[in-house]
Structure 1
Amino acid sequence: MLFQSLYKTNVIQGKGSVLLVGDEFCTSKGGISTINLNVARKLTAAGAEVYATVLEASEQDERDAERDGVTLIKPSVSQGFDAKPSLDWLTEYHSVHFPHLPPNVSCIVGHVDVTSRAARKIKEERFPHAKLAMFGHVAPEETEHYKSDEKALGVGRKEASIQEDIGKADVVFSVGARIHRHYDRFLRRNRVDHHIFLPKPSRVFSEANVSFDEESEKVRKPERIVLSTGRVLNVEMLKGHDLAAGAIDKVAQRLDGQYTLRLRVRGIDENDFKESKRILEEKLRSGRVKPTLLPYGTQEDIRRDMENCHLVLMPSRAEPFGLVGLEAIAAGVPVLISEHSGLAELIEELSEKLEQPTFRHCIVKMKGDTATDGDAEKWAERIEDVLKNARSEFAEARAFREKLLASKYWEESQQKFLQACGITDDPSAEAEGGGAEADDSD
């Protein structure tokens, strides 16, 4: 009865429901979930009825969803059935575990390559007349060879699997120009609408309280805290954790006696703690810095990390976009990002468009010289410079933040997304939406 009532309401308003196919509603495990959450808020603010599938939901997730105007759909589990929820529940067994999807779905949204297959199957088997939209986040050909030989050998299969899904979509939104280039030829050949999607920083970060702490500089040996994020085990080469640790070790030796240097890494699975610590300590060979490994955290946790650090690093050897770097810029904390990222391309474009050449200051040009430690040396030079000139770096970061947010670079791409979902971004709807965008309003 509830769904039927919602259906009648939406028909009167001329809007259907949007189903976001995701495995979680929290944002602790990376960019896909963060973008899914921000998209949910954008849709509800525009007046859409939004439903989001999850495999599990904490009490905090429930509260956040209610605040954002999103209806969470959790799996149905038979009594005595104790299997751990998995993506198969959404993909192969959605009719069993998610029988209670709303009847009036007009648009289904999936994310490559986590829930794209599930979104496609739900559309084909239950909502054939709904529009299928997908977000592109990954380019396996760029990233897999930094993980393992097995992953590298499987690139062709993974690319083919992704193409099988996105080729059936009505519209694909690639996160950043780098991913858009990767899939554009295939999608044009298959006549699938294809657009660039530019994420907007969450208000959690754009309203962060970041400043250079003058009082802390009065002690004999001030602290300098460097933050990096993301899983280490099996992706240390891809994410550049080896570069970060090796560079920090060099900086610690050069600045010995001037500062107490700390390296914090947020996003470690508790099962990977020992091995992740070993990987980092192998590069921190002088013993001057002991890494602090922190578990997966919410956006609020990461914001607090940023408020208490002097520099955020994103040293990836390949990064399709790089949301954490964008969040750091929005928070107003000094940041260094790899040139091999979609974010670096966005910054280059904005620096030219806004005539702000200093935007490029945060991009680190890499040599690709892993064997002789050349890249670690390059990062060490840049890290040392930022930490020694922290006061002026914080001032520059604050100015960067203000200009980036004032540019509203994200608006055009997000309007296209609303239109693709059949939603008109009505300002009056946003005003009526209450807390729908409490953390991400325009």
Structure 2
Amino acid sequence: MVNDEWGTAKGGISTVHRQIASIAVEAGLEVYVTALKVDEKDRKDAEDTKIKMILTPRADPYMSDKTPSLDWLLYHQTFFPHLREAIPKLDIIIGHAPITHDATLKMHEDVFTEANSLLFNHVIPEDTETYKSTWTPQRVQEKESRLFEAAGKFDIICSVGPRMKDHFSNKYRALSDPTCKHTHIEFIPRPDDKFFDIEMKEAPKNFEGCVFWVIAVGRVKGVEKLKGYDLVAKAMGNVAKSFQSMFKQPPKLVIRGIPRDESEETKEFFTRHQSPYLDVVMKSYGTQDDIRIDFQQSHLCIMASRSEPFGMIGLEAMATGIPTLVTKNSGLAEFINKDKNLSIYEESVVVDVGCNPSADESDIHQWEKAIRNVLSNYNVAFKRARQIKEILSKSEAIKKSIEDFKSVLRGTYNGD
């Protein structure tokens, strides 16, 4: 597996990386992982996951003062000259778009020509880039084109969730090379057992004096509109104001995932958008263990993105049994809609909003209404969240996805 890191500190993609490695071990494979930098905690976790080896750079001494970058994976002859020595024979090499797919193709071409190549799709640039501060039409087209061109060079492609599977299935219709007959499957990740193992403690029956904590996970700077933080701040501000007028303690908003060098800009953003009634608590990046504790200390998790290719954090929240609200414009919402057992809860979990990049008043109202409904009827919401957790823990769709992936790894997959 060509990864830039080992661990779960940077959210959905790194979490899925780790799960893929774990599934490959379960399937009976020896798993090797590249990482640019690891600490003892990472190595211990990899050992517990039964990873065969983490391969780190062997940098030129003249580069010892340089911070490792993705280019180090691309120029593997210089920084990873020991690949063939460490892995004399390889059956499958896995890359992740948009992070390591180029480096994976390069290693496949230069070193592991005998292996099958597998690509994981994690993003849909056409859906998400338009909301970023760096957006230009050219940038979107360039990113989509790179993913499209790379796909034609991989033997197997896994798209995370139904939204990405549908998007790329349509894109791949234009692959003109008649020799390109890759397998394309949908991969639905399963939340780690550490989330299912949580026994959420219900809030007191009498909410007098109770402060509700509402958590959202993900960095803010540059992706404020993509992640819907402008909507969240205003919706939560309105809820806080109404709680104050009813002589109740206003809820707090917790944001987990703020990089150290973006803390001031993030603070300024919320200062501009939050109401005087709303207290915003900002936290740094966190591992799954950190987020697990966050969920236990919170009452509601919200994923308000204007567009979300999948939404792993929302799935993990649902697995803990915390009431959760997710945007309609997400792969997770589509997964909920398609699952016959989860779909009966769709109306109470999925917030029906548009994808307007401006802070549309109707979308703010929808989020405000959904948040208020949970917090004002918390005992009902809490009981419903526990039912959703139980259903999710037995999801046949997730089980089938994982078994299909194991079959792909073993070379026995016979699906379409």
TM tier, smaller: over 0.9
Aligned to 1:312: 301
Instruction: Answer yes or no: is 1:243 the counterpart of 2:258.
Output: no
Shift of 1:200: 0.8
Q: Percent identity, aligned pairs only?
A: 37
* Rounded Cα–Cα distance in structure 1 between residues aligned with 2:71 and 2:134: 26
* Rounded Cα–Cα distance in structure 2 between residues aligned with 1:166 and 1:281: 43
- The structure 1 residue matched to 2:8, chosen from 27, 31, 43, is 27
Mapped contact 2:210–2:249 kept (Cα < 8 A): yes
Shift of 1:355: 7.4
Residue type of the partner of 1:414?
A: I
* Rounded Cα–Cα distance in structure 2 between residues aligned with 1:229 and 1:394: 20
CA change 1:167–1:232 in 2 (3 A) is same
Equivalent position SS for 1:105: coil
- The structure 2 residue matched to 1:230, chosen from 194, 218, 231, is 218
- The structure 1 residue matched to 2:351, chosen from 351, 364, 380, is 364
- Equivalences, count: 400
* Rounded Cα–Cα distance in structure 1 between residues aligned with 2:379 and 2:194: 24
Aligned to 2:267: 277
User: With structure 1 as the length reference, what TM-score do the two structures score?
Assistant: 0.87
* Deviation string, structure 1 residues 361-412 (Cα, Å, up to 9, x no partner): 2000014463542211110111011011111111110011001211232122
Instruction: Answer yes or no: is 1:121 the counterpart of 2:111.
Output: no
- The structure 2 residue matched to 1:207, chosen from 175, 179, 197, is 197
* Rounded Cα–Cα distance in structure 1 between residues aligned with 2:342 and 2:40: 46
CA change 1:355–1:416 in 2 (3 A) is closer
Shift of 1:149: 5.6
Q: State how 1:305-344 maps to structure 2 within 5 Å.
A: 305-344=294-333
Mapped contact 2:27–2:410 kept (Cα < 8 A): no
* Rounded Cα–Cα distance in structure 1 between residues aligned with 2:171 and 2:377: 47
Residue type of the partner of 1:227?
A: I
* Rounded Cα–Cα distance in structure 2 between residues aligned with 1:276 and 1:56: 27
- The structure 2 residue matched to 1:47, chosen from 28, 33, 36, is 28
* Deviation string, structure 1 residues 186-223 (Cα, Å, up to 9, x no partner): 335443211111111111211112121327x46x4211
Instruction: Answer yes or no: is 1:94 the counterpart of 2:83.
Output: no
Aligned to 1:398: 386
Residue type of the partner of 2:332?
A: L
Which consecutive unaligned segments of at least 5 residues does structure 1 have? 1-19, 426-442
Q: State how 1:35-434 maps to structure 2 within 5 Å.
A: 35-70=16-51, 71-81=53-63, 82-91=65-74, 93-101=75-83, 102-148=87-133, 150-188=135-173, 189=175, 190-214=180-204, 217=206, 220-256=208-244, 257-284=247-274, 286-350=275-339, 353-354=340-341, 357-368=344-355, 370-422=358-410
Residue type of the partner of 1:84?
A: T
Equivalent position SS for 2:394: helix
Mapped contact 1:132–1:170 kept (Cα < 8 A): yes
* Deviation string, structure 1 residues 245-291 (Cα, Å, up to 9, x no partner): 1110000011112124111000000100011111122111x311221
* Rounded Cα–Cα distance in structure 1 between residues aligned with 2:72 and 2:159: 26
Equivalent position SS for 2:6: coil
CA change 1:296–1:187 in 2 (3 A) is same
* Rounded Cα–Cα distance in structure 2 between residues aligned with 1:371 and 1:292: 22
* Deviation string, structure 1 residues 103-137 (Cα, Å, up to 9, x no partner): 21110000111011111110011111110001111
Once structures 1 and 2 are overlaid, which stretch shifts more, 304-313 or 147-156?
A: 147-156
Equivalent position SS for 1:236: coil
* Rounded Cα–Cα distance in structure 2 between residues aligned with 1:272 and 1:88: 24
Which consecutive unaligned segments of at least 5 residues does structure 2 have? none
Once structures 1 and 2 are overlaid, which stretch shifts more, 74-83 or 146-155?
A: 146-155
Mapped contact 1:174–1:195 kept (Cα < 8 A): yes
* Rounded Cα–Cα distance in structure 2 between residues aligned with 1:61 and 1:355: 35
Shift of 1:44: 1.0
Residue type of the partner of 1:160?
A: S
* Rounded Cα–Cα distance in structure 1 between residues aligned with 2:137 and 2:306: 15
CA change 1:392–1:294 in 2 (3 A) is same
Equivalent position SS for 2:314: helix
Shift of 1:424: 7.2
Greater RCO (CA < 8 Å, at least 6 residues apart): 1
* Rounded Cα–Cα distance in structure 2 between residues aligned with 1:179 and 1:367: 19
* Rounded Cα–Cα distance in structure 2 between residues aligned with 1:417 and 1:118: 22
Q: Which runs of 4+ in 1 moved over 4 A?
A: none
* Rounded Cα–Cα distance in structure 2 between residues aligned with 1:138 and 1:195: 15
* Rounded Cα–Cα distance in structure 2 between residues aligned with 1:367 and 1:418: 37
* Rounded Cα–Cα distance in structure 2 between residues aligned with 1:158 and 1:287: 40
Mapped contact 1:46–1:424 kept (Cα < 8 A): no
Residue type of the partner of 1:407?
A: S
* Rounded Cα–Cα distance in structure 2 between residues aligned with 1:44 and 1:228: 32
User: With structure 2 as the length reference, what TM-score do the two structures score?
Assistant: 0.92
Equivalent position SS for 2:257: strand
* Rounded Cα–Cα distance in structure 1 between residues aligned with 2:159 and 2:347: 23
